[in-house]
Amino acid sequence: MPLSLEESHAPKVVFVSGRKQKIIKWLMWWNIFFIALRKFKNPFTAIKKINQLRKLRNQYRNQHPPVKYSKINNKYFVSYNTPAWPSKAFGRYISHLLNHFLTDPPVTLNTIVFAITKKCGFQCEHCCEWENLNKPEVLTREDLLLIILRFQQLGISQVQLSGGEPLNRFQDILFLLDNAKTGIDFWLYTTGFQLTAEKAFLLKKHGLTGITISLDHFVEEEHDRFRGKQGSFRRALQAAQYADEAGLAICFSLCATKQFISKGNLVKYAELAKRTGVAFIQILEPKAVGHYANQPVILEPEHQKILKQFFELMNYNKDYASYPVITYHGDYSRRIGCSGSGRDYLYVDTDGDIHNCPFCQRKLFSAMDDSLVDLIDGMKKKGCGVYNIYSTIK
């Protein structure tokens, strides 16, 4: 049976729907209009680009209007990969998206996923960094900061710190939060095993936006088996409570395997996330890389169909307006193309080398290269070898 949180724990996340959501949406679009006006100077051009942006947004949502936003600390989140509104990060995000519709767009990004450590005490079944774990660190905290600052010049609005287990570099994370320039939402990927109440409050105090906790089942024994460490399920839920009490946004990240996928399991998982105070659920499809190399883990169409139906149920059905917002990257990629490869995000590994995404596992060039902008531009134009349909948004 799934572990229940203490009844005294009242989650801080609020899901906004109905009339209030419509008001927030209207205010957001006014903000977007003024961002576009500052960018293009001409109001008619601004409106034209905003209409193109609406079309792109509708492609991502498959023409469905969302029934909720999540509200945390008086800021509103449309989705996991969209910075909180109102904020400087939201403005940078919109500016990057509008660049998609320029004839000769500058090289900008929304997000970098940055693996900052090789250290990890887990044996996770799906780990894409399996062959690099627990080797000597290459990047100093100054190197980490330099890489983030280089990408900040390219307009990023979100940094997702991963690993390994990034909490192994807790003091370095505080250093990064203190020394990065404003205008970026920082998220932390973690198993939650090392998170304490004190660490959660310090992370929030130093500027962390949210925490992404890996949780791969609603049944304790199954999650512990998947993660290769007894007690990991309980520590993950405890970490979520600490994060919630500190005022951090929370996402549960689920690696949805063939064995797990069913409507019943997915709804039970969402119910646990709702009780825990989670704002978002990220669904990842297993890939045959790392610890899963040469294994038949790729989902079949019937599994993908169940995940898509769950994604649409939770995001677009009013009966689930109080449940976490779902992000399902696999569905986005198949419909409109991969957002990695420098289109919206890329992956920086623990050596400071750049990949199209965390699952490609192919070093392309160094984040320290003097020709970084040109190299990213080339990667972007080449696109993803699997979902290479970037032209659909033009």
Domains and CATH numbers, the chain: 111-393 (3.20.20.70)
pLDDT score for 391: 37
pLDDT score for 120: 81
From first to last of its 394 residues, the chain has per-residue pLDDT tens of 444 444 446 668 999 999 999 999 999 999 999 999 999 999 999 999 999 999 988 888 878 889 999 999 899 999 999 999 999 999 999 999 999 999 888 999 999 999 999 888 777 777 767 667 678 889 999 999 999 999 999 999 999 999 889 999 999 999 999 999 889 999 999 999 999 999 999 999 999 999 999 999 999 999 999 888 899 999 999 999 999 999 999 999 999 999 999 999 999 999 999 999 999 999 999 888 767 778 888 899 999 999 999 999 999 999 999 999 999 988 888 888 888 888 899 999 999 999 998 888 789 999 999 999 999 999 988 877 665 443 333 3
Would you call 9 exposed, middle or buried from its count of C-beta atoms within 10 A (0-12, 13-18, 19+)? Answer: middle
CA distances from 331 to 4, 187, 299 (A): 31, 23, 12
Cα-atom radius of gyration of the chain, to the nearest Å? Answer: 20
Residue 56, classed as helix, strand or coil, is: helix
The model's pTM is: 0.92
* 266 neighbors 310 (Cβ within 8 angstroms): yes
User: Which of 31, 348, 70 minimizes the C-alpha distance to 210?
Assistant: 70
The span from the CA of 205 to the CA of 199, in Å, is 10
* 86 neighbors 75 (Cβ within 8 angstroms): yes
pLDDT score for 183: 92
